[in-house]
Homo-oligomer: A and B are copies of this chain.
């Protein structure tokens, strides 16, 4: 499939955008008019620059408000179009996007539209360019791709075709199945965009909230499947208007964009396969090695220059030290199958922070290969000849993700690389697993992170929640696997807490699941653990909300435990104090409780805020 992207998706100057697109591996680009108008490069220079970069210039866009107008305006519009056709000749672009009229149309009759589009097609023919006519979702008279296609067929001119844009089709909930009936020769261009399902007018949604495929909620797999069936062979190009992408680093965004097209091709191919299609379609959707979802967390790693505070918390929680690695500056702490690595190779003075996560996968090499084809940056990690080689990739927030060999019994072979545990070190070990990990995401990279974990790690995004905190709403996005072996929570902190956008200041945590939380908490209390102290008011509210047995409520209060209940089961949990930007949580899931104690999250945020502020 020929990949493309509109320059309007990206930040920076036209030069910077073109360089980033080439670097990310796009075949071609669409020149957004404003990017040319505001550029110091002449059209000829743009053409040369594209050739030098190996980018084809596939589309000039947009040309607005041409059709359905009165005669005087039509003449002006044709004059305007001819000026752009001349410009396209200088750029070496043969196709222009003409959007259905949203502003100046007064004539809705199809025969008027056909007649006017025919005049445009004739003019285009004279200049040797092609017009791709697109139905905008909010077009005044033409807002449906089938209508646009009917008009194109009625004109029946070699220089007039349509442009299909998944946004304009799916934001209106138009059925995509009829795409198959379109004449592929008349599809001059295809644009793709995803979007969240927000209840908002489509114009606002379009202008601000489009996202790259895989970052929203449109069914693009089906769209691609139907498109492939038409026999279309042209570019499939991203056109994304997004407030965040417009201001974030152009090189990174271009990579994120390219990843979305790799993902999209696979989704289309999978959809076709599910429909029983085996033949190779002309669109040539590239596919990746398929990997099953990860089965669990292999480990979590905390990096810090000074390890004492983390060691103390883990020990008090019931973790046992497994000693130091024989060649690296890392320690291993375990509790059942929950493994925490403390990495001491941190710059002096740096406080504890979550630095890496290991995921159990069926085939680490294959999973790594897939992730790399999805443009995930590789993380080098040196190892001795006889040590397990970790396949590492970097997540958008810089967390290192290691793809580890999963085992049936949840053990990890690499643990033997650690020396013998100090005497008594393994004494108070209990059964435990990593239940979930909560990572803060920079605001510029939140959507990118969702696509990264979806495509490279086969996690599934769940509907997001918004949690009040004393410094604003925290957006919380759960990404998990079907059996909940992996639960990752991406947090978007309030802007005021985002620091410089790259350096994390928001707290993150690792949660461990145990069978008996009350026993775990009692033991931890005995060992002197500093619990996050829950206000008495919380327990009174709990008593008002749930009819709890007084003894049980008393135990919750005495141990600073939080509680939640829903139709599926119960949830008990507690938090430790924070060291650096890390804290730990212990949880017990009763019945089929599948959540995270969301009603309790505001309490945690408020108490943590209070602690932070009292400390200042």
Q: Which residues in A have some Cβ–Cβ distance to B below 8 Å?
A: 11-13, 33-34, 36-40, 42-43, 76, 79-80, 83-84, 87, 198-201, 204, 207-208, 243, 246-248, 443-444, 466, 468, 470-473, 494-497, 501, 533, 535-538, 540-541, 543-545, 547, 602-603, 605-607, 609-610, 613
How many Å lie between the Cα of A83 and that of B545 in the bound state? Answer: 9
What residue in chain B is nearest A494 (Cβ atoms)? B247
By DSSP majority rule, is chain A's interface helix, strand, loop, or mixed? helix
How many Å lie between the Cα of A40 and that of B470 in the bound state? Answer: 14
**A560 shortest CB reach to chain B, Å:** 13
Q: Tell me if B535 and A13 are in contact (CB < 8 A).
A: no
Taken together, the copies of this chain in the complex come to 2
A40-B535, A199-B200, A544-B83 known; A246 and B443 CB under 8 Å?
no
**A85 shortest CB reach to chain B, Å:** 10
Q: Tell me if B40 and A84 are in contact (CB < 8 A).
A: no
Residue of B34, B472, B536 near A602 (CB, 8 A) is B34
**A404 shortest CB reach to chain B, Å:** 36
Contacts of A613 in B (CB 8 A): 13
The 10 closest A-B pairs by CB, nearest first: A247-B472, A38-B606, A83-B544, A199-B201, A247-B496, A247-B494, A246-B472, A37-B541, A38-B603, A40-B535
A243-B472, A495-B495 known; A84 and B544 CB under 8 Å?
yes
Q: Tell me if B470 and A37 are in contact (CB < 8 A).
A: no
Residue of B12, B471, B537 near A42 (CB, 8 A) is B537
**A508 shortest CB reach to chain B, Å:** 19
Contacts of A208 in B (CB 8 A): 473
Q: Tell me if A243 and B470 are in contact (CB < 8 A).
A: no
**A137 shortest CB reach to chain B, Å:** 14
A-B contact pairs, 17 of them (CB 8 A): A13-B613, A37-B538, A37-B541, A37-B603, A38-B535, A38-B605, A38-B606, A39-B535, A40-B607, A42-B536, A83-B544, A84-B544, A199-B200, A200-B204, A207-B466, A243-B472, A248-B496
Residue of B199, B470, B543 near A13 (CB, 8 A) is B470
Contacts of A471 in B (CB 8 A): 11-12, 246-247
Q: Tell me if B246 and A468 are in contact (CB < 8 A).
A: yes
Contacts of A201 in B (CB 8 A): 199-200
Q: Tell me if A33 and B204 are in contact (CB < 8 A).
A: no
How many Å lie between the Cα of A12 and that of B613 in the bound state? Answer: 10
Residue of B11, B33, B76, B79 near A470 (CB, 8 A) is B11
Contacts of A246 in B (CB 8 A): 468, 471-473, 494
Max chain B Cβ within 10 angstroms of own Cβ: one of A12, A36, A540: A540
Residue of B200, B444, B544 near A80 (CB, 8 A) is B544
Max chain B Cβ within 10 angstroms of own Cβ: one of A198, A471, A495, A537: A537
**A328 shortest CB reach to chain B, Å:** 37
Q: Tell me if A36 and B606 are in contact (CB < 8 A).
A: no
**A533 shortest CB reach to chain B, Å:** 8
What residue in chain B is nearest A245 (Cβ atoms)? B472
Q: Tell me if B79 and A547 are in contact (CB < 8 A).
A: yes
Q: Tell me if B544 and A40 are in contact (CB < 8 A).
A: no
**A463 shortest CB reach to chain B, Å:** 14
What residue in chain B is nearest A499 (Cβ atoms)? B500
Max chain B Cβ within 10 angstroms of own Cβ: one of A11, A36, A38, A544: A38
How many Å lie between the Cα of A543 and that of B86 in the bound state? Answer: 12
**A530 shortest CB reach to chain B, Å:** 16
Contacts of A543 in B (CB 8 A): 83
How many Å lie between the Cα of A573 and that of B610 in the bound state? Answer: 53
Q: Tell me if A40 and B610 are in contact (CB < 8 A).
A: yes
What residue in chain B is nearest A533 (Cβ atoms)? B40
Contacts of A11 in B (CB 8 A): 470-472
How many Å lie between the Cα of A537 and that of B86 in the bound state? Answer: 13
Contacts of A472 in B (CB 8 A): 11, 243, 246-247
How many Å lie between the Cα of A496 and that of B34 in the bound state? Answer: 21
